[in-house]
Structure 1
Amino acid sequence: MQLKHTTYTLLVSGIALIAGACNKFVDINTDPNNPTTAQLSLLLPSTEVSMAANMYELNSGTSTFMQHMVSSGDLSRYQQQGTSFDDPWDGFYSQTLNDLESIIASGTAQQEWGYVSIAKIEKAYLVSLMVDMWGDIPYSEAEKGQETVSPPLDKGVDIYENVLTLIEEALQDAGKVTATTLVPSSADMIYSGLKTSWISLANSLKLKLYNQIRLVDPARSTAAIRGLISNPATLIGGTTNSNTTDYTLRFGAAQNPNNRHPWHRSEYQSSKNFYMCQSFIDLLFNNDDPRLRYFIYRQNASAGLNNSTNSNGYYGRNPGDGTAAPADLNRRSTFGVFPAGGLYDNAPINNIPDTYSYLGNTGATATLKVVATSDGTGAGVIPLLTNAMVKLIRAEAALALNTGDDARQNFADGITAHLNNVSTYGAANGGVALSAATISGFVNKLLTAYDAADAAGKMNMVMTQKYIACYGNGMEAYNDYRRTGLPVLRAPLSPLNAFPLRLYYSQTELSANTSLGENASAMQIAQQTTPVFWDK
C-alpha cells in the first residue's frame, strides 16, 4: 500500500473542468495589451479546485492515523517520511495560497470586495488547517515570490491570531457588497457566490478555531463562543438544522478527463491501494449504526479479517498491521457511496444480531460484486466544515466550557444532521434514503445512552459522534483526537513510532529553505512528538 498517488496531476486538471478554470488560466489578463492581472472569475474557482486536489495525501494520511481507513502500512504504524505529505505542502503554497494572494491583491486594487472576502475566508481556513497539521509554518514572509525565497517559520499561535483577524476583515469586506451574491455564481464552486453562506462559513470557522484553542485560553474561548451562538442564524446550519450551507468540496462524475473523488479513482479498479480500517468497521457494526452500509462496500459476502472466509464480508485491516497484504484485491471491503461516490451496500449481512433495529436486512436484496471503474458515480465530497460538525462543536464547548448552550440538543441535532446528509447524498448517488423513523429512532437510542452517562461519558459520546461525522475528513478527526484523546483508538498491532502530534514537513521545503538552518533533520524528527500550540 502506497500513499503516493501517481495520477495526482490528472486530478488537478480533471476537476478543474467543473469550474471551467484551472491554474493554466492564471496568466490570462483582462487586457491583452496590458498583462497585469488575472481574471478573478477564473482565478477564484481555480483555488477551490487546487485546494481539493492538494488535499488528497493530507486527507488520506490523517484518515489513516485516525483509523477511518489504511492508506499506508507505515502511516498506520505511525512512521512518517519527508515525502509523506510533500504534495499537499508544496501544492498549497505554490498553487492555492499563491492564487489566493493574487485575488486579494488584485481584488483590493479593483475594489472587487466580494472576491476579496471569499479569498480571505478560504485563506483563513487553509492557513489554520496547515497550522493544525504542521504547527509552525512559513506565513508572514511567504507568497512574496523572489522577494523572499526562503521564508522563515512563524509560530502557530501567532498565525492563529492573524487568521482570526483575517476572518474579521473578510466579514467587513462582505459588508461592502450590497448584492445577495458576493461574486457571480459561475465563479464560485462552493456556494455559487451566495453572501449569507460565506458569512455563515466565516462565523462557523471562528467557532471551530475558538473551540480549538479552548485548552490554551478557556476564558477567551468561552466569551467568543457565547457571542457566536447568541446568533445561531449566522452559523452553518442556522436555526433549522439545515445542511444546505455545509462547506463541502465536491468532485464530479466524469472519467475523461477524470474528475472523480480520488478515493474512488484509487479503489474502483482492479488494483487497489487502501484497506478500510477494521476498528472503524467494528465501531459502526457493533453499535447498530445504519451509516455502515453507506460508508463501506463489501466485495464478498463471507470475507473477514485476515482474509478469512467465514465472516460477514466486512474485511478490513487492523491498525498497525505490518504484515504483507495477501492476494485479496477482490475480497477486501472498500469505500461505499459516501463520501467517495462508490456503491451503496444493499446486500444481506449474514450475522446481524436479532436485537439490531437500524443495521438490518429488511429490503437488502442486492448482490455484492467486485467493484469496477464504471461502478458508482465518483462524484464524492470532502466535508470540510458541516452543520453536523458545528452542532457537535457546540456540544463539546457546552460540556467543556459551560457556554450556556444546550449540549444535549446540539448532540441530537448533530447526529440528525449527519444522518440526513449521508441519507440524502446516498439516495442521490445510487443508494436508498434512510426512513424518518430510522433516523429518529437511532438518535433517540443514542440520547438514552447520553442521558445515562456521567460527564466524561457524555463527552466521549459527543466526540465519538463527531469522529463518525468526520468520516471523509481525516484532518478534523486528527485535530479532535489530539485535543481530547477521544474516541479511544484501537492500539496498533506493531507501531514503529509514537502517535504523531504533528506532520512531517515536506522534504523539498527542508532542502530548499535556507532559513531553517542546519538543524532541519532534527526539527523534522521533533515534529512527531511536539504538540501543536493548542494541544495541551
Structure 2
Amino acid sequence: MKFHQIGAALAFAGMLATASGCKDFYNTNVNPLYPTSTTINNLLPITQVSMASGLGDNVGGLSQYTMGLMQQLYSTRGIGNFVQTGGSFGGPWSEFYANMLPNNELIITQGTAEGQWSYVGIAQLQKAYVFSQMVDMWGDIPYSEALQGVNNLAPRFDKDSEIYNGSADGKVKGLFALIDEGLANLARSSTNSTLGRADLIYGGSLEKWARFGRTLKLKLYNQIRKTNSNAVVAAQIAPLLSSPLIEEGGDLQLAYKNSIQPDTRNPGAVVDYGPNPENRIGRYFYEDMKAKSDPRMPYYFFNQVPLGVAVTQQDYINESFVTVRPGSTGQYTSSASTAGVQTLQGLYPVGGRYDDGKGRTGTGLPQTKYEAPQRLLTYYARKYTEAELQLVVLNNPTAARAALVDALNASFNKVNTIAAADGSPVMTATQIAAYINRVNTTAANSGPLNRFDRATTTEDKLEVIMYEKYVASFGYGVDVYTDFRRTHHPLIRVSQAAAAATPGRGLLPDDGQTLSNGIFPYRLYYPTNDLILNPNSPRTQAPVTSRIFWDL
C-alpha cells in the first residue's frame, strides 16, 4: 500500500493509506514496492476517513446507493431503477477490504504487541461496526479468514448469522464477542499520548468510544430481534438500557472542513455542487415531507430555482422543486438537462446550501461550505431504537412514546446544530413543537405524536417510529435500507394517490413515461471479480429476493 497525506484540516497530519490501482481485495497488502505498516497513530485517522467514505453519502459510498433504493434520492445509475450488476458495488467493497479493514487490523495487531490497548479497543469497535454493516448489505462475506494478506488469499465466506453470533465450533468469533473485547480493552490502562490527535471522531475520549460500543450492541440486538424470542431479547438489552450509551453531542461521525489543499470537504457536496450533480432528490420523499409541513425541508433540499420563478421543460416540477421521477423515460432526465435547475441535497445531509428561497446566485456553480459531518451512529438513532424495543419487545407503548419524543427532539436538535455551525438560521422551538404536536383531521398529515396516539395496533405505532427515523436519517442510507427490510416500515408512498409500497413491489409506474426495470433487492450483489478469483466464494450471486438472516 502507498501512503498519502490526509492533512491538518482533519485535525491530524498523518498518512492516508490506499491500495494502488483498482484496489482489488486480493491485492491487499501484497505489493512489495510499498510499505504495509506504519505507526498506529498514523493508521487510526486513515481507517476513520475510509469508514466514512465507504459507508457515507458520496459517489462511492453505500449510503448514496441505499438512499436511492429507499426513494430518498434518485440516480440515473442502474441502482436507481433497482438494477444492479457485479460491478455496481466494487467501490465500497474495495474501500473496506483494501483500505479500511486491513489498516484497522494493523492497529489491532501492532497495538496488541505494543500494549496500546486504547487503540486496540477503538479498532475492534470500528471493525465490528463496519463488518456488521457489510453483513447487512451482502449477507455472507469473508470475515474469520479475511485480512490475512498473503497468508490467505482465498478466505471463506462466513455465514451472516455466524458473523453476528459466532459459530458453534468456535471458528468464527461473532461481532458481539468482538465488541465485548473492544470495550474491555478500552478499560485497560495503556500509554496513549498520541490518541487525542489521531482520533478524528472522538478526540481520544475513551468514554465516548465505550458509549458507542454499548450503543452498537443495542443496535445489533435490535436488528436481529426477530431471530430470538422477546424474552431473550429483553434479557440481552436490559443491562445496556441501564448503561451509559451515546448521548447528545456524542454521535459517531466524521467532521469535514472547507479546504481544497488537501481536500477535506464533504465528498457528497463536492460532486452534487459541481458541474454534473450525481443525485436527484426522491420525489416521494419530498412530497411526504411537504404534506406534513416538515420544517426541516429548507435544510434537506436546496432549490436552485428561486421561489416564484417559473421553470419548464423538466421531468418533475413542484413549485421550485425540480427532480427526475423514479424510472422516468422522459426526455429531461440527463445531467445536461437538469444540472442548472434540479434540487440538490442541502445543508443537513452533505453540507450543501440552506434554502432561503432565493435560489442559486450568479452564473457559476452554486456555492457552499461543504462542512456538514458524515453521520454514522447518532443519539437520535439510539432513541429511535429504544422506542422500537420498548414498543415491540418490552410491550410498553408509554415508554416507547417517551423515547419517541426524545428521538424527535434530538433529530431536530441535530439539524439545528449543523445549521448553527454553518451560520444558517435555526428552527425555533415553536416550529419544532408545531410539527411534533400537530393535530390534523387527516391522520397521515398530523404530527408524529398524534399519529402515534391515534394508532390502534403495534404495527401502526411502529410505522410512526420508523417513518420519523427514516426522515431523520437522510444522509445515511445503509441503516434506512436495513430498517426497511427487517421491519417493513415505513410504508413508502409511490404516489400521492397510490397504496403504500412494500419491499417486493419495486417501482410502480404512475404514467406512460415511468418504468421499473427491476424489483426491490433484499441484498446487494458481490463484485464479480471476487467471485471469480476466490475459489472459496459462493461462485454465483445470491438472488436479490433472498433475505439476510435477520429479515424474517
- TM-score bracket, normalised by the shorter chain, equals 0.7 to 0.9
- Out of 369, 372, 381, the residue aligned to residue 377 of structure 1 is 369
- Out of 436, 455, 463, the residue aligned to residue 429 of structure 2 is 436
- Deviation (angstroms), 1:262: 1.9
Q: TM-score, normalised by structure 1?
A: 0.86
2:532 matches 1:511: yes
Structure 1 unaligned spans of 5+:
1-8, 27-34, 348-365
Counterpart AA for 2:346 = G
CA 1:367–1:530: 2 relative to 1, 3 Å: closer
CA 1:514–1:221: 2 relative to 1, 3 Å: same
Counterpart AA for 1:81 = T
Q: How many residues align?
A: 488
Name the CA distance, whole Å, in 2 between partners of 1:337 and 1:163.
Answer: 34
Name 2:206's counterpart in structure 1: 195
Name 2:45's counterpart in structure 1: 45
Name 2:82's counterpart in structure 1: 78
Partners of 1:269 and 1:373 within 8 A in 2: yes
CA 1:478–1:255: 2 relative to 1, 3 Å: same
Name 1:472's counterpart in structure 2: 475
CA 1:46–1:299: 2 relative to 1, 3 Å: same
2:399 matches 1:406: yes
Q: How does 1:298-337 map to 2 (within 5 A)?
A: 298-300=303-305, 301=307, 302=309, 307=314, 311-324=318-331, 325=333, 327-337=337-347
Name 1:281's counterpart in structure 2: 286
Partners of 2:316 and 2:323 within 8 A in 1: no
CA 1:371–1:277: 2 relative to 1, 3 Å: farther
CA 1:508–1:370: 2 relative to 1, 3 Å: farther
2:486 matches 1:483: yes
CA 1:152–1:484: 2 relative to 1, 3 Å: same
Counterpart AA for 1:203 = R
CA 1:308–1:321: 2 relative to 1, 3 Å: closer
Name 2:449's counterpart in structure 1: 447
SS in 2 for 1:514: coil
Name the CA distance, whole Å, in 1 between partners of 2:65 and 2:52.
Answer: 15
- Deviation (angstroms), 1:516: 2.3
- Deviation (angstroms), 1:510: 1.7
- Out of 327, 339, 343, the residue aligned to residue 353 of structure 2 is 343
- Out of 258, 267, 271, the residue aligned to residue 272 of structure 2 is 267
Give the share of equivalent positions with the same residue, in percent: 32
Name the CA distance, whole Å, in 2 between partners of 1:371 and 1:513.
Answer: 51
2:549 matches 1:533: yes
- Deviation (angstroms), 1:306: 7.0
Partners of 2:283 and 2:324 within 8 A in 1: yes
Name the CA distance, whole Å, in 2 between partners of 1:274 and 1:285.
Answer: 20
Counterpart AA for 2:476 = N
SS in 2 for 1:215: helix
Counterpart AA for 1:460 = E
Q: TM-score, normalised by structure 2?
A: 0.83
Name 1:147's counterpart in structure 2: 151
Name the CA distance, whole Å, in 1 between partners of 2:197 and 2:363.
Answer: 34
2:54 matches 1:54: yes
Counterpart AA for 2:40 = L
Partners of 1:182 and 1:195 within 8 A in 2: no
Counterpart AA for 2:422 = N
Name the CA distance, whole Å, in 2 between partners of 1:188 and 1:280.
Answer: 35
2:228 matches 1:217: yes
Name the CA distance, whole Å, in 2 between partners of 1:264 and 1:171.
Answer: 35
- Deviation (angstroms), 1:100: 1.0
- Deviation (angstroms), 1:416: 0.5
SS in 1 for 2:134: helix
Instruction: Give CA deviations for 1:498-531 in whole Å, capped at 9, x if unaligned.
Output: 21111111122123212226xx2xx31x241110
- Deviation (angstroms), 1:182: 8.7
Name 1:164's counterpart in structure 2: 176
- Deviation (angstroms), 1:81: 1.2
CA 1:115–1:216: 2 relative to 1, 3 Å: same
- Deviation (angstroms), 1:484: 1.1
Name the CA distance, whole Å, in 2 between partners of 1:15 and 1:81.
Answer: 36
CA 1:370–1:53: 2 relative to 1, 3 Å: farther
Counterpart AA for 2:471 = I
Name the CA distance, whole Å, in 1 between partners of 2:322 and 2:78.
Answer: 20
Partners of 2:6 and 2:16 within 8 A in 1: no
Name the CA distance, whole Å, in 1 between partners of 2:127 and 2:362.
Answer: 41
Q: Identify the structure with the greater helix proportion.
A: 1
Partners of 2:6 and 2:15 within 8 A in 1: no
Instruction: Give CA deviations for 1:232-281 in whole Å, capped at 9, x if unaligned.
Output: xx1112xxxx2x11111222211233222222111112222221111111
Counterpart AA for 1:416 = N
Counterpart AA for 2:104 = L
- Out of 385, 389, 397, the residue aligned to residue 397 of structure 1 is 389
- Deviation (angstroms), 1:70: 1.5
2:242 matches 1:230: yes
Name the CA distance, whole Å, in 2 between partners of 1:88 and 1:159.
Answer: 19
Partners of 1:236 and 1:390 within 8 A in 2: yes
- Deviation (angstroms), 1:183: 5.8
CA 1:154–1:454: 2 relative to 1, 3 Å: same
2:378 matches 1:386: yes
- Deviation (angstroms), 1:427: 2.2
Name the CA distance, whole Å, in 2 between partners of 1:69 and 1:480.
Answer: 17
- Deviation (angstroms), 1:481: 0.3
Counterpart AA for 2:547 = P
Partners of 2:116 and 2:190 within 8 A in 1: no
- Deviation (angstroms), 1:383: 1.5
SS in 1 for 2:412: helix
